[in-house]
Amino acid sequence: MMKVLLVRTSSMGDLIHTLYAVDDLAKYRPDIELHWICEESFINIPKLHPFVQKVITFSWREYRQKLWSLETWNTMRAIKDLLREEKYDMVVDSQGLIKSSMIAKFAKAPIHGFDEDCVREKMAAKFYAHRYHVEEKDNVIWKNRQLFALIFGYRDKIDRNQYAANLVIPDEIHLDFLDYDHFHVAVHAASQDCKLWPEDNWRALLQKKYTDDAYPVLLTWGNEKEYQASKRIAEGLDFVYVCPKINLLEVAKLIDLSESVVSVDTGLLHLANALDKPTVGIYPNSSTENTRVENRSWEQVLGGLNTTVTVDEVYKTWNEVLKKKISKVLRK
């Protein structure tokens, strides 16, 4: 059994995109014992794939705010000792940053990663003992799948057009607040304001869709600002419900039980994609090049840099992805 450490610390969408490569690894190299190190706030993402045997946290976003604190250095030293005690056979740094390469070095094992043409920060590649060149570097999912396949020797077996994340939500996850058999999920919040879609558009869209199927819509949120926005969107719409505060595994369960997801450019859009739900991504002012959903017909993205996404466009596409997923199910 070969013991491997995967370094992919952030962000949410990038971790989710890596799960497809993990699924390939589970299929073609079941002899691997895979551990994953990531930011504490994203610890539940690796747990969605049963092939990940252990998840270790390294909260760089927190540490860098207290970089001169003795407590911070003691914590990082303890993580370094833990990684060395595991005695890994190799480390895979799929993030390609100087930060991630330094974390990878803690494990004191040969580091594998992208070459200088493919890595996100060229200096990071200098820390790798083994470097790999991949094609289609703008497609993050395929980029990661190629890297894993080259490292672990199954490049000729993977197909660009055949892929799955095969996520498994733990059985103990329950949503006590959920009273509906059929519902949609809307994700209106994003980490950057430029990625937001106007609240009036959300209200108009949800009202328009409700006239079709009379299914309730549940709104997710992650902080107080997003909660207040959820309440404004739901105000006066008795079929729109604001979820209580729930963790990432509970959000995954909610998405998995839903009929479909409409979302701005955020990690939950990619989680819905990985769970193979009918999905519409709204990108009013962000690039669709390397964060796009994959090429299944029931998962579509609208917009791009400096574009306007209308309510009618989203409504039409929403109905189309639902029909295409139903057709796919009926053909099975």
In the predicted model, is pLDDT for residue 63 greater than 80? no
pLDDT-derived band at 76 (thresholds 50, 70, 90) equals: confident
Identify the structural domains of the chain with CATH numbers, from first to last. Answer: 2-157 (3.40.50.2000), 184-331 (3.40.50.2000)
pLDDT (tens digit per residue) in 164-183:
899 999 999 999 999 999 99
pLDDT-derived band at 71 (thresholds 50, 70, 90) equals: confident
At residue 290, the pLDDT reads 54
At residue 102, the pLDDT reads 93
* Cβ-contact 221, 199 below 8 angstroms: no
At residue 160, the pLDDT reads 87
At residue 292, the pLDDT reads 53
Mean pLDDT for the stretch of residues 192-209: 96
Paired with 187 in beta bridges are 263
- Mean pLDDT lowest for which of 23-32, 72-81, 181-190, 314-323? 72-81
- What is the DSSP code (8-state) at residue 121? S
pLDDT (tens digit per residue) in 114-147:
999 999 999 999 999 999 999 887 788 999 999 9
CA distance linking residue 309 with residue 204, whole number of Å = 13
pLDDT (tens digit per residue) in 8-52:
999 999 999 999 999 999 999 999 999 999 999 999 999 999 999
In the predicted model, is pLDDT for residue 330 greater than 60? no
Mean pLDDT for the stretch of residues 141-166: 94
What is the 3-class SS of 170-200, one letter each residue? CCCCCCCCCCCCCCEEEECCCCCHHHCCCHH
pLDDT (tens digit per residue) in 239-296:
999 999 999 999 999 999 999 999 999 999 999 999 999 999 999 887 776 555 556 7
At residue 329, the pLDDT reads 53
In the predicted model, is pLDDT for residue 327 greater than 70? no
| Average pLDDT over all residues of the chain | 92
DSSP-derived pairing of the beta strands 184-187 and 217-219: parallel
For 177-193, give one letter per residue: b (16+ CB within 10 A) or e: ebeeeebbbbbbbbeee
Q: Greatest CA separation found in the chain? A: 61
At residue 286, the pLDDT reads 77
pLDDT (tens digit per residue) in 220-235:
999 999 999 999 999 9
Answer with the residue of higher pLDDT: 154 or 332: 154
- What is the DSSP code (8-state) at residue 164? -
* Cβ-contact 131, 114 below 8 angstroms: yes
At residue 72, the pLDDT reads 79
